[in-house]
Amino acid sequence: MPEADTVRCIDGHPRVVVTGMGVFSPIGCDLDTFWANLRDGASGAAQVTLFDASEYTSRIAAEVKDFNPTDYLDPKDAKRTDRFAQFAVAAAVEALRHADLTIDEHNADDIGVFIGSGIGGMATWETQFEVLLSKGPRRVSPFLVPMMITNMGAGFVSIVTGARGPNAALVTACASSAHAIGDAYETIRRGDARAMIAGGAEAGITRSSFAGFCALRTLSRRNDDPEAASRPFDADRDGFVMGEGGAVVILERLDDARRRGARVHAEIIGYGMSGDAYHITAPSVAGPARAMRQAIESANLQPSDIDVINAHGTSTPTGDPAETAAIKSVFGDCACEVPVTANKSMFGHLLGAAGATELVSTILALQHQVIPPTINHTNPDPACDLDYVPNEARPAPLNVGISNSFGFGGQNASLVVRRCEA
């Protein structure tokens, strides 16, 4: 482990810290509200309101409430920006504000943007495809392509904030924003940037994407009880609840953060990624295990050093047992001793934004020394037999946490984060 008073890791690379966080989620659009609801086990799931879901097999989702994009974008620009990119911009602006970091001509070239999204501008694609069918190609908006393409999350964040460093969009399904943060961490470590705006955004609660997930039979059909529908690792789980939102963290070199007197909220100390080489949708055990093992090893830790696991925990019949088995594979005899929390039980599955949102949750848990609960865990599944912190938050001494994100196609990411004193 690197010494606490050094600014470089034992491998010679700069230490990378989190100095700001921004989150827009179904359980809160500011850090205080988000944390309070997470700690208290509040659910953000309800009946779908973004479209008429009466004919769908699943009619529930976790939507972001009371979001006004014009708080962060000029009204004209807001009309030309898909909802997912609006979430990205809002989360980035709030994260920069939380970090008290100003981007100007002196530092703009050294600050980059990595924003992940699994689906991108699906709502824009739907509405404009309807225009094409009903009114013909001449009536399609010239903003269709720039509103729809997934890189516009990162693009608009750069435009709004002025960050001119490395800029990319990560698309690895539900691992997108975890990969964005992990790759941003590595970008700073190798010297290609001094700070990064990294995270993810998703607005996939649309007719076509919802229909696709219903056809896959991956969404919960507990339509009469939406708040109890997302129940990771519970024997009565029947699928995930789709969510939406955005989350962004500001990553900086430790020496730069100290130099400007920034508050350090946590340190990223490990990152692992892997491919299943197995199946487009079916979960693997070996792939996620490799990502976790790599992340822990890159942090120069042992599995026994991990104090809490923030699980991918989607509430699907096959995914949760596979992740449980992967955790057992990595943690061995201590697997049952490490608390596992599943945030998706509360705010649903934010798809490409899930990893970033759950990393923010992990950092807040380390700060507050409280593990958020896995709610709706009332009927234990013999195939899922770890300590899932059921239903009530748990105070605990927390120093190091790992957060897992696994995507369709078998693309896996794990991030290890360490608590820092204020």
Indicate which residues carry an active-site annotation.
174, 312, 349
CA–CA gap between residue 227 and residue 234 (Å, rounded): 14
C-alpha distances in Å from residue 217, one per residue of 214, 327, 406: 5, 25, 18
Amino acid letter for position 390: P
Structure tokens at 410: 């078998």
- Phi, psi torsion values for 315, nearest 5 degrees: 80, 25
Contact residues for 410 (Cβ-Cβ < 8 A; gap 6+):
275, 276, 277, 278, 279, 280, 284, 287
Strands of the sheet containing 167-170, edge to edge, are 167-170, 111-116, 195-202, 245-253, 16-24, 266-275, 411-419, 400-407, 308-310, 340-341
Q: Which residues contact 219 (CB under 8 A, 6 or more apart)?
A: 57, 58, 210, 213, 239, 240, 241, 242
State the Cα–Cα distance between residues 214 and 197, nearest whole angstrom: 34
According to DSSP, the β-strands at 111-116 and 195-202 are parallel
The residues, ordered by sequence, that sit 6+ positions from 59 with a Cβ below 8 Å of its Cβ are: 47, 48, 53, 223
For residues 404 and 311, is the Cβ–Cβ distance under 8 A? Answer: yes
Between CA 271 and CA 277 the distance in angstroms is: 20
For residue 362, what are its two tokens? 């992990």
How far is C-alpha 145 from the chain's CA centre? 25
From the CB of residue 395, how many other CB atoms can be counted at a distance below 10 Å?
9
DSSP 166-195: -EEEE--GGGHHHHHHHHHHHHHHTTS-SE
Residue holding tokens 């979960």?
283
| Angstrom distance (rounded) from CA 195 to CA 188 | 7
